[in-house]
Amino acid sequence: MATLASPSNAPYMSAMYDFKPSANSDKAALHADLRAAATAIVAGESDPIANMANVAAVIWQYLPDLNWAGFYRLIGDELVLGPFQGKPACIRIAMGAGVCGTAASTRTTQLVEDVHAFPGHIACDAASESEIVVPIIHEGRLIAVLDLDSPHPARFDRDDAAALEALCAAIAPAIAG
């Protein structure tokens, strides 16, 4: 559940958010709450980097068993590291390379139960065992990918994929720039 508080006497202060994922939520409810929190936190903010940073933080807070959560932005003809939570990561990824580059070049979600079995996997964190990457498309244009890694094999499933695709569609206008 997201709560917004904004002091009326401080025009340059940002809104304060109080996000509290419910510990007893089922997966569908957790993803619905995550999507609501993410759309609330980007509402009214025009800076795409700030929006990606806040969404990465909300994902990190809401979804269990992650060791990396963030964005790679399409800059020219390559993916460039954007805001994230987790260990330092690869800075540039070629289109078609690894899970992120594959998601970007095919414009399809890549759901990888075992990263070691993915041909050409780029290991930024040796602890990663599974990964999901969702392309973010706005007005027909690829703008970024959302990349989530887990230290657990098969952490992500089709329900996660569908929910994260809905989340990316919801935030795409706020990160399109």
Residue 140: strand, helix, or coil: coil
Q: Which residue shows structure tokens 């917004």? A: 4
Calpha distance 118→36 (Å, rounded): 32
pLDDT computed for residue 19 by the predictor:
75
String of DSSP letters for 3-45: EEE--TT-TTSPPEEEE---TT--HHHHHHHHHHHHHHHHTT-
Q: Where are the domains of the chain?
A: 2-175
- What pTM was computed for the model? 0.90
Give the architecture (CATH level 2) of 2-175.
Answer: 2-Layer Sandwich (3.30)
Counting as low any pLDDT under 50, the low residues of the chain are 1, 3-11
Residues above pLDDT 70, as percent of the chain: 91
The strand pair at 130-138 and 110-112 is best described as: antiparallel
Q: Are the CB atoms for 123 and 130 separated by under 8 Å? A: no
Q: State the Cα angle at 160 between 20 and 155, rounded to 5°.
A: 95
pLDDT computed for residue 7 by the predictor:
46
| Residue whose C-alpha is closest to residue 134's, from 125, 145, 119, 144 | 145
pLDDT computed for residue 9 by the predictor:
45
